[in-house]
Amino acid sequence: MTIIVNEKTKEFHLQTSGSSYLFTVLENGQLGHLYYGKKVNHKDSFQHLLTNGNRPNTAYVKEGDMSFSLEQTKQEYPAYGTTDFREPALHIEQVDGSRISDFRYKSHRVTSGKPKLDGLPATYAEDGDEVETLEITLYDDYLDAELTLLYSVFEAHDAIARSARLSNHGKANLNVSRIMSANVDLFDSDYEMIQLSGAWARERHVKNRRLESGLQSISSTRGTSSGHQNPFLALKRPMATEFTGDVYGFSLVYSGNFLAQVEVDYLDVARVSIGIHPFDFNWMLEPGDSFQSPEAVMVYSGEGLNGMSQRFHELYQTRLARGGWRDQARPILTNNWEGTYFDFDEEKILDMARQSKELGVELFVLDDGWFGKRNDDTTSLGDWYVNYDKLPDGITGLADKITDLGMDFGLWFEPEMVSKASRLYEEHPDWILHVPDRSLSHGRNQYVLDFSRGEVVDALYEMMSNILREADISYVKWDMNRYMTEIGSPAWPADRQKEIVHRYILGVYDLYERLTSEFPEVLFESCASGGCRFDPGMLYYAPQAWTSDDTDAVERLKIQYGTSFVYPVSSMGAHVSAVPNHQVGRVTSLETRANTAYFGAFGYELDVTSMAEEEKAEMKAQIEFYKQHRDLFQFGTFYRLESPFEKDGNRTTWMMVSKDQSRAVLADYHVLDRPNQGFTRLQFKGLDPDAAYEIEGYEGLYNGDELMEIGLQLGHERFRERDIHEPAGDFHSRLFILNKKP
């Protein structure tokens, strides 16, 4: 059993393979939090963990009783109103103007498996017995409203998924202005908070700060999860490292506006909350209706940050991503975007495809510019019909010609946007997000379609599905290139305008669900100006995402390193592009570009027809190498060894180990070469300590324990690729391939 209930004390003990999560029913019927951390043995009562007492300047729940205050109590899902001045998980405004609510324990039940969340992405159970779910029902008699808290325990994956559902059984509307997915009150605040922050072309950089008294948070109000902040935060003890110490990870399975927050109170309690951002949000809950929050996933690791990340990787790769491509090796692709931009015709595309095929590429992807009158970024978004001037035989004809080469064919869409210079906008100018009588701003000369409207989603579904039905397409790149402004929808009344962003995201999920259900054989890759909507919600529909528009090998070290805190390597689209790099102008070797891109869904984004013959030969060898080790790169266990965000950032190392520990690859990257450096030592992780390993290209055998505890000192002549006094040059990298000796 992973969920144990002490019926007498009304305590609930959730156990994963390595953690315990404890809460109880308080004396006033609300829920109190007891403990979250390393797994502990169960016993008949944990009531001694409750804290209370008489303190100055404190409000108390009961008249005449100076012993029970919610301000001093660690709570499970706090609501606004009585004796707790911290920010709540739930805030409801009633028709009489009151914001007070009082949800008290009513019942609970434990079931095998995991229920689906209506209209929302979420983790799932593949085998009914692998997950247990606790459903707690709370009731506010005055509101005649029910609050259901869901806890699904993934014992083997060492994770807990949480969400909340509010149901209105009364006769009056309820305005829900805040409904978080999870709340955890920890014992103390002696933690550092880790977040993934950045912007376009430098997404998910690792930021670290010490918790202080007051509020510290990350969020997005851009209509998407954004590249500026990712819907994730971790708390680690100050002495915790990549491989040791206590770490808590909180990740939100959602793609819209979010808030992830830690509040430290005067008692040094850290309250963690994560969910839909309450900024500019309100949901009018009519009688008989329910509102389901997105899902939050919580992970505790006693083995440092790597332990936390590996738990997220395993869960998200196998119990969030879905479909046939979940466990299938991803094809090596060529995408034409940086090779041609809008300037192409059918013969150019076919020439790129032929030469890519000769070098071993398996999938050719046609990017932006194939539809309407699209020759630049000012026109035609929303007109998803072929440009016959460029492609005289249409998408179907081009797809047939490419598949006849023995390759698969993929296609780019940007379904959520429209250009004013388009047939769709001319026919339906009211289909964009806008506020009547207010001016409109644009991004990349495009406007956001109103996906809160079912007829808009239906129209896009018909256009996209018609193309996918008619042509032999095995891959779709789904792009989204701007954030939301002037958020409003004439299709909804005034008192529902704060619902638009969430309804928009539900519309995106609906379109994804319909297309992935009808075309399960198609590999969908999500994209949003690169990595500006790289979140667990998207991963549910598309098992991989374009990690960043920045394809520079050096910049990608930070981007992919940060992304790996939550997301598996198989989810990261990673391409080799031309030099000088189109984003930063840097020139790196083809070897280093590939050595970085191998750690992801690997491909090329360049014009292969313009490459020199020696470069083509190197590209062919890279593809052969990746095919040989593809299952290791995409489905092995990932270890971060040296961070580009620490020390001077000049060196990054990481590695991948096969599940059976028989093979491994370690990558060592140096940004700038330096004179007369000291010796470099590599310490491996995840190997079999009792096995002997060969290192390809080097003599001798090395025991697993030796490689992990002592490591390799690279100044030794057997590991020297050059004379120690000969400069390697800037942006140098090398791979170490390990094979267990039979």
Distance CA 122, CA 116 (A): 7
pLDDT of 497 higher than 60: yes
The model's pLDDT over 596-634, given as tens digits with 9 standing for 90+, comes to 999 999 999 999 999 999 999 999 999 999 999 999 999
Task: Kindly state which CATH superfamily the domain 3-319 is placed in.
Answer: alpha-galactosidase from lactobacil brevis (2.70.98.60)
Residues with active-site annotation: 479, 549
The model's pLDDT over 79-113, given as tens digits with 9 standing for 90+, comes to 998 899 999 999 999 999 999 999 999 999 999 99
Q: According to the model, what pLDDT value does residue 291 have?
A: 98
Distance CA 535, CA 537 (A): 5
Q: According to the model, what pLDDT value does residue 277 have?
A: 98
Region at 577 (left for phi over 0; alpha for psi -120 to 50; beta for the rest)? beta
The model's pLDDT over 678-700, given as tens digits with 9 standing for 90+, comes to 778 899 999 999 999 999 988 89
Q: Which two tokens stand for residue 32?
A: 């109190």
The model's pLDDT over 233-262, given as tens digits with 9 standing for 90+, comes to 999 999 999 999 999 999 999 999 999 999
Output 61 or 297, whichever has higher pLDDT.
297
CA 599 to chain centre: 17
Concatenated DSSP letters of 645-673: TSTTS-EEEEEEE-TTSSEEEEEEEESS-
Q: Which two tokens stand for residue 125?
A: 């159970």
Residues forming beta bridges with residue 112, ordered by sequence position: 132
pLDDT of 723 higher than 60: no
pLDDT of 726 higher than 70: no
Helix axes 346-358, 394-404, angle to 10 degrees: 20
- pTM metric for this prediction: 0.97
**Peptide bond before residue 88 is cis, with ω within 30 degrees of 0:** no
Q: According to the model, what pLDDT value does residue 4 have?
A: 98
Residue span(s) of the chain under CATH 2.70.98.60 come to 3-319
DSSP tally for the chain: helices H, then strands E: 12, 38
Helical (H) or strand (E) element with 732: strand 732-740
* Residues counted in the chain: 742
Residue 730 confidence class, pLDDT cut points 50, 70, 90: very high
Q: According to the model, what pLDDT value does residue 510 have?
A: 98
The model's pLDDT over 205-219, given as tens digits with 9 standing for 90+, comes to 999 999 999 999 999
Specify the 3-state DSSP secondary structure of 205: strand
E-strand ranges in 10-130 read 11-15, 19-25, 31-38, 90-94, 104-112
Residue with tokens 């992807």: 365
pLDDT of 500 higher than 90: yes
The rounded percent of the chain whose pLDDT value lies above 70 is: 98
Over the chain, what is the mean pLDDT?
Answer: 96
Of the candidates 444, 514, 435, which has an alpha carbon nearest to the alpha carbon of residue 479? Answer: 444
pLDDT of 725 higher than 60: no
Specify the 3-state DSSP secondary structure of 210: strand
| One-letter amino acid of 449 | L
Q: Which two tokens stand for residue 343?
A: 């300037």
Helical (H) or strand (E) element with 163: strand 159-168
Q: Which two tokens stand for residue 354?
A: 């032929």
pLDDT of 675 higher than 50: yes
Of the candidates 587, 559, 585, which has an alpha carbon nearest to the alpha carbon of residue 573? Answer: 559
For residues 493-522, average pLDDT: 98
Q: Which two tokens stand for residue 742?
A: 């039979």
Q: Which CATH number fits domain 642-740: 3.40.50.300, 3.30.210.10, 2.60.40.1180, 2.30.130.10?
A: 2.60.40.1180
Q: According to the model, what pLDDT value does residue 715 have?
A: 66
For residues 35-48, average pLDDT: 97
Compute how many other C-beta atoms are within 10 angstroms of the C-beta atom of residue 17: 13
Residue span(s) of the chain under CATH 2.60.40.1180 come to 642-740
Distance CA 302, CA 37 (A): 8
Distance CA 534, CA 548 (A): 9
The alpha-helical segments, DSSP class H, found in 54-140 are none
Q: According to the model, what pLDDT value does residue 128 have?
A: 80
